[in-house]
Amino acid sequence: MDGMSGPYPIRGSVSLPEAELMWRFSRSSGPGGQHVNTSDSQVELRFDLARTEALPEVWKQRALERLAGRLVGGVVTVRASEHRSQWRNRETAAVRLAALLAEATAPPPKPRRPTRVPRGINERRLREKKQRSETKRGRSARDWG
């Protein structure tokens, strides 16, 4: 992996604005070697959703509504600490944020159009039900004797 893999697409031609991403690095918990106490490998990526100009207005409103529980003062935060290298954690955090925004800005699903069960199918079901009940009635122990 050399160089950051460039802009992280959210959807269509819209991608994460590099300039608006705020990075913070800190010591990560978890496994590591001798190097672990000196390297800031945990990454915290913050993105000011409320003030961004990079997203279309409609998307922004949608995301603000859907992520309301995750926002702190209009800022969304993503953490990554699973890799030992800060670099890979940065990648992971950025990809995660892009995925989160993609999901939050997706258009609402189309309303479901109610459909009716075709008459033939319903009639067939009732016919089969009746036949089954006849079969079972024929099994009753009344007639033996």
Its pTM stands at: 0.61
Task: Provide the phi-psi class of 12: left if phi over 0, else alpha when psi is between -120 and 50, else beta.
Answer: left
Task: For the beta carbon of residue 75, count every other beta carbon within 10 angstroms.
Answer: 14
With the CA atoms of 20, 88, 28 and 76 taken in that order, what torsion angle do they form, in degrees rounded to the nearest 10?
A: 30
Helix (H, G, I), strand (E, B) or coil at 92: helix
The region of weakest confidence among 13-17, 20-24, 53-57, 94-98 is 13-17
Assigned token pair, 80: 């990554």
Give the pLDDT of residue 25: 85
What are the tens digits of pLDDT across the range 43-100?
888 888 878 777 788 888 888 888 888 878 878 888 888 887 888 888 888 888 888 8
Q: What confidence tier does 121 reach under pLDDT thresholds 50, 70, 90?
A: very high
Mean pLDDT value across the chain: 81
> Which has the higher per-residue pLDDT, 18 or 93?
93
